[in-house]
Every structure is written in structure tokens, then in C-alpha cells.
Amino acid sequence: MQKNINHMVNYLKELVSIPSPSGDTEEIIRFCENLLKMHQRVEMTTTNKGALLATIRGNNDKKQRVLTAHLDTLGAMVKEIKSDGKIRLSMIGGFKWNSVEGEYCTIHTMEDENYTGTILMHQASVHVYQGVGKEKRNDQNIEIRLDEQVDSKEEVETLGINVGDFVSFDPRYQYTDSGYIKSRHLDDKASAAILLHMIEEISENELEIPYTTHFFFSNNEEIGYGANASIPHQTVEYIAVDMGAIGDGQTSTEHDVSICAKDSSGPYHLGLKNQLVRLANSNNIAYQVDIYPYYGSDASAAIRAGFDIKHGLVGPGIDASHSFERTHTDSLWNTYQLLMAYIQAPMIK
Ligand SMILES: [Zn+2]
């Protein structure tokens, strides 16, 4: 197990270190494409929307499966350059300003320059501003302090920074001796790392799989329309591999694989959910069935887009999602095992 876990964790570390807010995902998609190129069995296509589809042929090519994980993350865009040289932001994806307050960030300009800074309240200094704790964390008060000597809008523009430039948040990745992984963007790069490792295992061990299986690395999930197009028409079963949501009243943990029965979009396919539970039971995989109150996935987006598929949702449990995220290698391992059992099992009737 240790070798496999380290493989997955190394992929995860590399994935979180590549900035990829929704809308600026070319580099991370190319990274995965290059990684998978060395496996001859893997056929690859990229979509116009910029996603990567990696396919491994199975014994049955008429009925196919899709497993998807998204590589896009939360982020922001330069909204306004203020007269004092500070930068206001427009959010990409769903988060609260307080979850990025104090975070290091990078601005990516059109000419491929990167400038670092810190996301702060305008009224950050307690020695100057009374009651900063009570001020609203919103797009008016939250801004970037650039690590450049700039005091005016003009000086910022001279650097080549403009409205519309992407802003990525520092992942602050840490892997502890106790097996926890603390990092931003575990949603959903933890799942993408699992899929990369699966492809590698299938390919290197020349594993036969019963059905042609597509590994869909999507890149617009956080903004609602990830893997909801370019789904091969032979697809019967479609599993989104995405984080389990942990919190009060939730069953998901950082140690189990979460199998989602229902989220805000409605119930997932009952037969597929039941099959995943049975596979977890028969393979002694630690799992939890859960319901996510405020959640949609690429699988529900595909259903909404009109695809006639059986859809499911499983993934590692991620604590404090869209905030300071954390998971444990147990959860990665259990998710990996369940998905490996699944792609080798017959389809449900
Ligand atoms: Zn996600």
C-alpha cells in the first residue's frame, strides 16, 4: 500500500502546485496529458472546452463507462486596480472572502508574467483601523497587496497587470507524518490524483477491464459546466469522482470513501449507488453513504445537460471544503480501491 499511496500523494502534490482556477486550466491539462503519454494503451483527446479525455479500451466497446474528476479550482480575477495600487478581485467559484483572507496569491498576466501578493482586508492594520474585526469581508474591503513597489494604478499597469488577469491562491501543501494532507484545491485534485494512479496501474499491470472506460479530466466544474459535454455516446455509467462533504450531521470522514446518495441536484442513480455500496462491502473498503446539502457535481451537470446515463458520485472526504481543506491518505486509498473494484465489475442491469 505504501508505494501506491506515495505515488498518489506525489501526483496530488504536483497537481496542487500548478495554478488552475476555472478558465485558466491549459497548463494543468497539458501536465496530465504529458504524464499519460507514456502509457501506450491510453488514447487521448482534448475537447474544445479544454478538458482531457483519456480512454482505455475494454473487452466490451459498445457499453462504456466514464470516470471524471475536475482539475479546475477556486480562484479570482483582477476586477479593478485602485488608485493606491491595491487590486480588487472578482471571485471564481463559490467561496467566502474570509476563507482566503491572509492567503498568498499570484497574478498571472497576459504576457505570462507572474506577480505575487497577499489577499488582505484594506483595513488590515489594527494599529490604524479600529474595529477591523467587525468590518465586512467583501469585494470592496478585500484586496491584493502586491509584492512590488507600486503606489498607483499607473505603476501597477506598467507591470503589465490588467483587469481580467487570473489570480490563483497559494495551495500551502503539507503532508504530515500522521498521514494528513493539508492543502487548498484538494477539491478535486485529490480525485484527479487517484484517477492518474488508476490509469497507471491498469496500464503497467496490463489489467483487462470489462468495458471501455474514459477518464475525463474536466476543467469547468467549479463554475457549473465541467464534464457535461463530449461524453462518448456509448456511455452507460458515469461516475463523478469528487469530494465527500464533511460537517455537522454528515457521515463523510477524512478516512472513508464517501458514496453520495443525493445532493442538491437530487438522488444519484439508485442501482449504481447500491452497486458501489456492495462493492465496498465485499472488498472490505471503509465507506460512508452521505447526502450533501449544498452540492452539485459533473455527474449532475451531465444529467442536466440531457445525457441519458446512470450517474453516481464518490470521492475522498475533504474537511473544510473550499476553505482550508484537509484529507487523509486513508480516504485516498479507500476511494482508489473502490474505483478499481468498480471498473473491473460488471455493469448493473
Ligand atoms: Zn469538486
Strand 52-56 versus strand 211-218 pairing type: antiparallel
Residue 55, number of CB atoms within 10 A of its CB: 19
pLDDT at 133: 87
Distance CA 119, CA 165 (A): 15
Distance 332 CA to ligand 1 centre (A): 15
Gap from CA of 222 to ligand 1 centroid (Å): 7
Cα–Cα nearest to 163, from 153, 176, 172, 173: 153
Q: Please report which helix (H) or strand (E) contains residue 68, including its range.
A: strand 60-70
**For the segment 202-227, what is each residue's pLDDT rounded down to a tens digit?**
999 999 999 999 999 999 999 999 99
Distance from Cα 135 to the centre of ligand 1, integer Å: 30
Q: Measure 193 CA to ligand 1 centroid, in angstroms.
A: 13
Alpha-carbon span 72 to 157, nearest angstrom: 27
Query: What is the residue-level pLDDT of the chain in tens, covering all 349 positions?
Result: 556 899 999 999 999 999 999 999 999 999 999 999 999 999 999 999 999 999 999 999 999 999 999 999 999 999 999 999 999 999 999 999 999 999 999 999 999 999 999 999 999 999 999 888 899 999 999 999 999 999 999 999 999 999 999 999 999 999 999 999 999 999 999 999 999 999 999 999 999 999 999 999 999 999 999 999 999 999 999 999 999 999 999 999 999 999 999 999 999 999 999 999 999 999 999 999 999 999 999 999 999 999 999 999 999 999 999 999 999 999 999 999 999 999 999 999 8
- How many angstroms does the Cα of residue 324 sit away from the middle of ligand 1? 14
Could you tell me whether strands 166-169 and 75-81 are parallel, antiparallel, or unpaired per DSSP bridges? antiparallel
For residue 168, what pLDDT is reported?
A: 98
Which grid cell sits at 71? 482539475
Rounded to whole angstroms, what are the CA distances from 321 to 116, 233, 326?
A: 24, 33, 8
Q: Which DSSP letter does residue 148 get?
A: S
Phi, psi of 34 (to 5 degrees): -65, -35
State the distance from the centre of ligand 1 to the C-alpha of 92, rounded, in angstroms.
13
User: Look-up: residue for cell 460512508?
Assistant: 288
> Residues 255-312: pLDDT tens digits?
999 999 999 999 999 999 999 999 999 999 999 999 999 999 999 999 999 999 999 9
Is residue 206 part of the annotated active site? The answer reads no
Partners of 90 in the β-ladder: 77
**235-241 and 211-218 beta bridge pairing:** unpaired
Q: Say how many Å lie between the CA of residue 245 and the centre of ligand 1.
A: 10
End-to-end CA distance of the chain: 33
Which one of 143, 200, 221, 237 is the catalytic residue?
A: 221
